[in-house]
Structure 1
Amino acid sequence: MDDFRTKCLERALLVGTFSAIPHPVAVEVMAQSQPDFICIDWEHAQIGRERIEDLVRAADVHSVTAMVRVPGHAPEAIAAVLDAGAGGVLVPRVSTAEQARAAVSATRYPPIGSRGVGPGRAAGYGYRIPDYLAKANETLVLAIQVETAEGLANIEDIAAVEGVDLIFIGPGDLSVSIDAMGPAGKDKLDRAITTITSAALHAGRAVGIFRPSPADVGRWRRAGISFFALASDTMFLGAAVLDSLDAARKAGSSS
């Protein structure tokens, strides 16, 4: 089994980030910091399908696993990123067990699923299809994102679906969906995150979550979450520029 998927399933601490800048240079810069993974955000960023393979390749140069968050549930999108060589897929807005089973089917080859065989980069452009088929089901990570009130209500059924490796919590959309935005909704959101985490762990699934900063990673790690997507390249860029400009202005005004 691939080392990255093994670590996911064994709930080792994994800390990575989202990639939203649609250029391989940005991926390489992040990869040189050696995150445990980079999740290329096809859902929310200005990244087109034709760019995915270049971004995955840029992560591969530095031996960092590239996952891709696809825009929806379409099997064609899931197949496209896996054919490009991604080490895993993050499927957003999974709110029912049926949707979770469909994600498993789209990610795995028969007899487990229904993914089609294609001569993409992952299979050596057709020259290593047998080798890729022999290992793909055992090495690719399937993460499904629970981020709706419906998903919260159905979490036990979703977590019970065989073939799901990791249940990823999207606090932003979840807070909107359950009316728990802002400081006033913090306790309600925390309870929802705890409910999802407990159900997933009880079913034997690893749990992941997005965090905008490392401030409470320790707290959620103690709760059983092991997979952390920390901010994004754009968020890191903006924060670093802001901090540096503020520091320069303070230094200049005090001289």
Structure 2
Amino acid sequence: MAYTALPNSFRRDILARRRLIGCWSSLTSHITTEILGQAGFDWILLDCEHAPNDLTTLIPQLMALKDSRSAPVVRPPANDPVLIKRLLDIGFVNLLLPFIESAAAAQRAVAATRYPPLGIRGVSNAQRCNRYGAHAEYAQQIHEHLCVLLQIESRAGIDALDEILQVPGVDGIFIGPADLSAALGHFGDPGHREVQAAIADIHARSHAAGKAVGILTVVEADARRYIEQGFEFVAVGTDQALFRSATQGLRERFPSDGPME
């Protein structure tokens, strides 16, 4: 069954802490995103932080996923209320907010997704999110269907985690291994024992607070280990890495004779 904006079955599954397998999408193409959707992933992360996505590339990707079982999740480039507002207006209901380092930042993230008086989201009555005005009950219904996931990827985020977890409206925690390893002094080595200890600590404290926990890895053995450890939503690869690996492997299987003299 396809994930739909309302009701948001992805949020339901996150709150129930069901296992959800996802894939990271950075190629900014509605065609590659549609292919990912056809593969049957539970969720697909459309990245705006480290990929050149914008509203004009995201809308066709949302359209490409509308008949897929894959739930679209978007990561804006920053925890910015204007960016969040625009992503909500084009139809996203699942957001992963990067680099959260305090309860105040978590509160700002949640507030940016809520209309007043619950938050600060700007009001527009004719956007893609409400079928350009045809869904008259959208504003009354949307708050209970929004999924807000927060990314912990720094020492400050780890230190503030217990307070972040108590912020109403936070549905899940996501761990960014690359930034976390850099922040802990082990750039490029997310498998370092100190990084893995921090990941385990974030996981344990988040679970104790009743929150689902997610992570990204492109290493299959690591993905299986995280799943065995009890991570609920795991991105097991990226479209960019898959494409590069497949094309590089194909080329290497067909060597040429080399350059002509």
- The alignment's TM-score, normalised by the length of structure 1, stands at 0.91
Letter in 1 for 2:240: T
Q: Which structure 1 segments of 5+ residues have no match? A: 250-255
Question: Does the CA-based 8 Å contact 1:65-1:87 persist in structure 2?
Answer: no
Q: 1:137 to 1:187 in 2, by over 3 A?
A: same
Task: Give the drift of 1:248.
Answer: 4.1
Question: What is aligned with 2:4?
Answer: none
The residue number in structure 2 matching 1:3 is: 9
Pick the structure with more helix per residue.
1
**Which residue of the partner structure matches residue 129 of structure 2?**
122
Runs of at least 4 residues of structure 1 off by over 6 A? none
Residue 96 and residue 239 in structure 1: after superposition, are their counterparts in 2 closer, same or farther (change >3 A)?
same
Residue in 2 that maps onto 1:253 = none
1:186 aligns with 2:192: yes
Shift of 1:183: 5.1
In structure 2, relative to structure 1, the CA distance for the partners of 1:243 and 1:86 (3 Å cut) is same
Q: Determine the structure 2 residue equivalent to 1:66.
A: 72
Counterpart-to-counterpart distance in 2, 1:221 and 1:110? 38
Which of 51, 67, 77 is equivalent to 2:57?
51
**Identity among equivalent pairs (%):** 33
Judged with a 3 Å threshold, the aligned counterparts in structure 2 of structure 1 residues 73 and 224 are, in CA distance, closer, same or farther, namely same
Partners of 2:204 and 2:72 in 1: CA distance:
27
Alignment of 1:238-249 (within 5 A): 238-249=244-255
Answer whether contact 1:27 1:58 (CA < 8 A) is retained. Answer: yes
Counterpart Cα distance in 2 of 1:183 and 1:203: 28
Seen in structure 2, the aligned counterparts of structure 1 residues 76 and 182 have a Cα distance that, compared at 3 Å, is closer
Tell me the CA shift for residue 14 of structure 1.
0.7
Q: What residue is the counterpart of 1:164 in the other structure? A: 170
The count of aligned residue pairs is 249
- Taking only aligned residues, the RMSD between alpha carbons, in angstroms, comes to 1.9
Structure 2 CA distance for aligned equivalents of residues 211 and 235 of structure 1: 11
Distance 1:184 1:56, change over 3 A: closer
Q: What amino acid sits opposite 1:243 in the alignment?
A: G
Find the aligned partners of 1:225 and 1:104 in 2 and give their Cα distance: 23
**1:69 Cα deviation (Å)?**
0.3
Report the 3-state secondary structure (helix = DSSP H, G, I; strand = E; otherwise coil) of the residue aligned with 1:8.
Answer: helix
More off after superposition, 87-96 vs 225-234: 225-234
Corresponding position: 1:230 with 2:236: yes
Residues 179 and 185, structure 1, Cα contact 8 Å, conserved in 2: no
Structure 1 residue matching 2:237: 3-state secondary structure: strand
Give the gaps of 5 or more residues in structure 2: 1-6, 256-261
Counterpart CA distance in 1 for 2:191 and 2:27 is 31
Letter in 1 for 2:37: A
CA deviation string 1:125-183 (max 9, x = no partner)? 122142x2233112221111110111111111111212101100000001001112355
**Equivalent residue of 1:46, what SS?**
coil
Whichever residue aligns with residue 65 of structure 2, its letter is A
- Which of these residues, 199, 207, 210, is aligned with residue 201 of structure 1? 207
**TM-score in terms of structure 2 length:** 0.89
- Measured after TM superposition, the shift of residue 63 of structure 1 is 4.1
Shift of 1:73: 1.2
Could you give the per-residue CA deviations for residues 84-107 of structure 1, whole angstroms, max 9, x where no partner exists?
Answer: 112311110001110001111111
Higher mean displacement: 171-180 or 208-217: 208-217
